[in-house]
Structure 1
Amino acid sequence: MLFKAIKTPGLAHLSYIVGAGGQAAVIDPRRDCAIYAEMAHAQGLEITHIFETHRNEDLISGAGILSRMTGASVYHGPNPAGDVRYAQTACEGDSFDIGQLRIEVIETPGHTLDHLAFALYDTAYGKGAVGVFTGDALFVGDVGRTDFYPDRREEVAGLLYDSLHKLLALGDQAMIWPAHGAGSVCGSGMAEREFSTIGHERANNPRLGLADREAFIAAKVAEHHYQPPYFRTMERLNLEGGAPVAPVLRPKALSLAELRDCGADHLIDLREPMAYASGHLEAAMCLPTGMISAFAGWFIEEGQSIALIASETDQLETATRHLARIGYDKVLGGYTGVVPAAAQGLNMVRTPMIATEEVEERLAAADPNWTLLDVRDADEREAGAIDGSQHIYVGELAERWRELDPARHYTLMCASGMRASVAAGWLSARGFRHLDIYLGSMGAWKSVQA
């Protein structure tokens, strides 16, 4: 018998493969999906079923691709947005046998209207579900966001409440296997653990502890979530079916001359913020490899071309894979060697880092030509902000940078300085030259003010 969770770094996406009796099923596969076929083959299993908990917003599904690869049937919930072209519709009460395992379908709308959960039973031990694949309905420590239907906010929050109680009815013994873990944009309060049970969540999950349905709805409606523009692209592709990824996700190596002449819509510097700040190529934005999944979808439009800049070739391959999982395939190539470029006399742009003492001095001086720009999210800002600072969420700078004055001096801040570096890099690539970054940002400010 096979049970394996596969985590996708960056997206904090969790998919699963289960198998018995020569058959295997995959739940919520990612786009680069050869890994599932390889796992099944290694165990002597044939993938016969592919289940999707919902139409994902934050990544391209690999369900249709894996189906073409293996011949397995794909099952998806009833979808008001239209038929998922590569899938059959599964509904409440449907069940599927995978050897001695049985998967039963539970309709769990709320996060999305097509959402399903899949309860797993072992027919050799028939008393209760072993566990349930909860998708984005129930996480470890949190529940799914319900902001995708803004005109029906109360209704969909109520649907999620009802769906969660259907899951709770499976019994405290049942394990939960969600589609995302901590760090995903699909929830903000997830635990670092990626395993739990219905009983543990019943006792510890804050959203499940709310007194009644109305309190739950009020809490969900009051939440604030951001929706990067690329979500709409993911939704469309996950209705149509995404194309397979390239067999080799290693970008072409570019010389400095080729980098300068490639005509890419975006130059992305993958190095860590301190390296970027110490010197970067003009027009290059700062997007460290580990932040691509969270922020590329804010700044890069569908179909735009990309050239990558890194300190080592492994960064290029990892970044290309992250980009492919969210639909950015037009990577023209990658360049390594920023220091040699400087040695050749190429103009480098620096972004200074400043400390708390200097921020305090600037605030006290009230310079009319200086702004402390806080790029944290709205919830962080509400929990505590520096008096005199201005707020624009880092992702929203993709459009709202036009509200800012390139002649003005901006100090970028976030919680630590990481997102501030991304924001400064975007502004630098737009021609802003009077920029610096508050190193340590809110964390440093709190430690000094304590």
Structure 2
Amino acid sequence: MSDARDVELTAVVDEGLGNSCYLVDLGDGSALVVDPPRDLRAVRRAVGKAGLRIRFVADTHLHGDFLSGAVQLAHDDGATILASAAGRRWFEHRGVGEGDEVDLGGLSLMALATPGHTDEHLSYLLRDGEQPAGVFTGGSLIVGSAARTDLLGPERAEELARAQFASLRRLSALPADTAVWPTHGAGSFCSAPPGVDRTSTIGRELRTNALLGIEDEDRFVERLLASLGSYPPYFLRLAEANRRGPAVLDPAVAARLPQLPASAVRGMGRDGAVVVDARPVPDFACAHIPGSLSIPLRAQFATWLGWLVPPDAPIVVVRDPDQDVAELVWQALNIGVDRLVGELEGGFDAWAGTGCPTAGTRLVGPAEIDGGRRVLDVRQRAEFAAGHLPGAVHVELGSLAAVATHLPDEPTVVMCARGPRAMGAASLLERAGHHDLAVLAGGPDDWAMATREKLQVE
């Protein structure tokens, strides 16, 4: 719970997407939810634990990294949706704009226009009487930085960065003890760059946020734009999906997957379906369906599913029996991937048991890397710049599919920080016809340690 004023607030964090939504106890048995995702399971648990009913739901902006759960909450709970009137949403909501105030019953919510991350972006100032308790800053001011401004296209990035400069200066004028509750945080590709903490105060940000210390607008813009890395292409689609309003789901059936026999999976693969293997890296390395795509089920599953699988391709899932199918499906639905046509019945063992062809990918340790193999580093640009193996070739995982057929087919060790992204990259290369692939079990730190130990022995 937050200690800001007397407001009872719970942050519900999605570690995989790096986002937070917030549950505010309005003091009369009802609640306000800010920036909920389509996957409402954690929100429902928090609401149930607090014994509240949801009366209001507010979105700070048209999200690009996840589908909003606002429409679902309006349908299921009768919640009133609060959102920017400038967003021109297609569904029923209460449109608000600069200076509009919503009485929540004791507490109130005031809309502040804070464009930059998006055109119609609002922050919401939560007030207890006349006193500011905190501000929901969405994708404007985030802990230690500001959210990126290039999601509406690179041609508008500078214009929106200038708007972000004005928005941050406006927010920084709030009282120093005002809590800062951003949506984007560590792990979010909307952050620029991501910070570590998820909440803060205006006073703390004035002391520690380097962007707030830049008084010259041109220098601010230069600094912000220089920090921007790549982001998943589905970000360009979800804002419009959120404007139209995601389809209402039946949670009781949404997370079920039809069971598909091996023969059906083989036929779907030939017809253009993508087989996504969600098993852990060692299992995929030992044996997998040739041409399948390795995306291990973990917190970041949705990000890489949306990044690596073509947006129109049907998806067939392979998983281990102990992996939670509901978690897998909800992560996909959270980013608008509703093309999961089923899963391999009986898992990979059933595939292998029918005599269907299999493939494997060798896992190697740092000591096994030598000058005879190309080293392909698929981490993000900033990670590579911070330190990499000598002579390593750098291609970000998100960009690899577009260039895989142009890379020479030669013996290659693929690496990332720990292994999951590297195995995904190796599976992409295999799909593109590459041979003699291996994946480093570990990352550059493991290689550096092994190199030091070798030198000490010598």
Task: Calculate the TM-score normalised by the size of structure 1.
Answer: 0.88
User: 2:284 matched to 1:289?
Assistant: no
User: 2:127 matched to 1:121?
Assistant: yes
The aligned counterpart of 1:237 is: 241
Asked whether the equivalents of residues 21 and 100 of structure 1 are also in contact (C-alpha less than 8 Å), the reply is no
User: 2:336 matched to 1:327?
Assistant: yes
The aligned counterpart of 2:90 is: 85
The aligned counterpart of 1:432 is: 434
Q: Which amino acid aligns with 2:433?
A: G
The aligned counterpart of 1:205 is: 209
Match of 1:360 among 370, 384, 408: 370
Q: Which amino acid aligns with 2:144?
A: G
Asked whether the equivalents of residues 238 and 335 of structure 2 are also in contact (C-alpha less than 8 Å), the reply is yes
Q: Deviations over 1:131-185 (max 9, x none)?
A: 1111011222332112224223333212112211222222221111111231111
Match of 1:54 among 61, 69, 89: 61
Match of 1:442 among 441, 444, 450: 444
Q: Which amino acid aligns with 1:281?
A: I
Asked whether the equivalents of residues 72 and 249 of structure 2 are also in contact (C-alpha less than 8 Å), the reply is no
Over 3 Å counting, the alpha-carbon distance change for 1:34 and 1:223 in structure 2 is closer
CA distance in 1, matches of 2:213, 2:447: 34
Deviation at 1:205, TM superposition (A): 2.4
Over 3 Å counting, the alpha-carbon distance change for 1:35 and 1:357 in structure 2 is closer
User: 2:351 matched to 1:338?
Assistant: no
The aligned counterpart of 1:136 is: 139
The aligned counterpart of 1:366 is: none
Asked whether the equivalents of residues 130 and 174 of structure 1 are also in contact (C-alpha less than 8 Å), the reply is yes
Q: Identify which range, 34-43 or 224-233, moves more after superposition.
A: 34-43
Q: Identify which range, 240-249 or 188-197, moves more after superposition.
A: 188-197
1:391-402 alignment to 2 at 5 Å?
A: 391-402=394-405
1:397-436 alignment to 2 at 5 Å?
A: 397-405=400-408, 407-436=409-438
Deviation at 1:35, TM superposition (A): 6.2
1:211-250 alignment to 2 at 5 Å?
A: 212-247=216-251, 248=253, 249-250=255-256
The aligned counterpart of 1:347 is: 357
CA distance in 1, matches of 2:356, 2:249: 35
Asked whether the equivalents of residues 121 and 129 of structure 1 are also in contact (C-alpha less than 8 Å), the reply is yes
Q: Deviations over 1:380-418 (max 9, x none)?
A: 22333334332211011132223224x433221222332
Q: Identify which range, 110-119 or 188-197, moves more after superposition.
A: 188-197
CA distance in 2, matches of 1:69, 1:317: 20
User: 2:319 matched to 1:310?
Assistant: yes
Asked whether the equivalents of residues 285 and 428 of structure 1 are also in contact (C-alpha less than 8 Å), the reply is no
Match of 1:28 among 32, 35, 41: 35
Q: Which amino acid aligns with 2:388?
A: A
Q: Deviations over 1:58-117 (max 9, x none)?
A: 1111222322333333232254xx611124431111111111111111111111111111
Q: Which amino acid aligns with 2:291?
A: A
Over 3 Å counting, the alpha-carbon distance change for 1:153 and 1:194 in structure 2 is closer
Q: Identify which range, 440-449 or 278-287, moves more after superposition.
A: 440-449
How many residue pairs align between the two structures?
437
CA distance in 2, matches of 1:447, 1:164: 42
Asked whether the equivalents of residues 81 and 94 of structure 2 are also in contact (C-alpha less than 8 Å), the reply is yes
| Aligned-pair Cα RMSD in Å | 2.6
SS at match of 1:176: strand
The aligned counterpart of 1:157 is: 161
The aligned counterpart of 1:365 is: none
Q: Identify which range, 252-261 or 392-401, moves more after superposition.
A: 252-261
CA distance in 2, matches of 1:443, 1:343: 39
Deviation at 1:28, TM superposition (A): 1.0
SS at match of 2:213: coil
Over 3 Å counting, the alpha-carbon distance change for 1:41 and 1:345 in structure 2 is closer
SS at match of 1:201: helix
SS at match of 2:145: coil
Q: Identify which range, 323-332 or 219-228, moves more after superposition.
A: 219-228
Q: Identify which range, 274-283 or 383-392, moves more after superposition.
A: 383-392
Over 3 Å counting, the alpha-carbon distance change for 1:348 and 1:57 in structure 2 is same
CA distance in 2, matches of 1:39, 1:211: 40
Asked whether the equivalents of residues 15 and 187 of structure 2 are also in contact (C-alpha less than 8 Å), the reply is no
The aligned counterpart of 2:378 is: 375
Asked whether the equivalents of residues 367 and 450 of structure 2 are also in contact (C-alpha less than 8 Å), the reply is no
Structure 1's unaligned 5+ residue stretches are 363-369
Over 3 Å counting, the alpha-carbon distance change for 1:43 and 1:440 in structure 2 is closer
Asked whether the equivalents of residues 224 and 378 of structure 1 are also in contact (C-alpha less than 8 Å), the reply is no
Asked whether the equivalents of residues 270 and 315 of structure 1 are also in contact (C-alpha less than 8 Å), the reply is no
The aligned counterpart of 2:3 is: none
Over 3 Å counting, the alpha-carbon distance change for 1:15 and 1:403 in structure 2 is same
Q: Deviations over 1:194-237 (max 9, x none)?
A: 33222222222233334543322110121232132211221220
Q: Identify which range, 159-168 or 34-43, moves more after superposition.
A: 34-43
CA distance in 2, matches of 1:384, 1:78: 46
Q: Identify which range, 434-443 or 97-106, moves more after superposition.
A: 434-443
User: 2:108 matched to 1:102?
Assistant: yes
Over 3 Å counting, the alpha-carbon distance change for 1:34 and 1:355 in structure 2 is closer
Asked whether the equivalents of residues 224 and 379 of structure 1 are also in contact (C-alpha less than 8 Å), the reply is no
Match of 1:251 among 257, 277, 283: 257
CA distance in 1, matches of 2:126, 2:352: 58
Q: Deviations over 1:394-445 (max 9, x none)?
A: 011132223224x433221222332111111122233322211122232223
Over 3 Å counting, the alpha-carbon distance change for 1:285 and 1:323 in structure 2 is same
SS at match of 1:353: strand
Asked whether the equivalents of residues 28 and 52 of structure 1 are also in contact (C-alpha less than 8 Å), the reply is yes
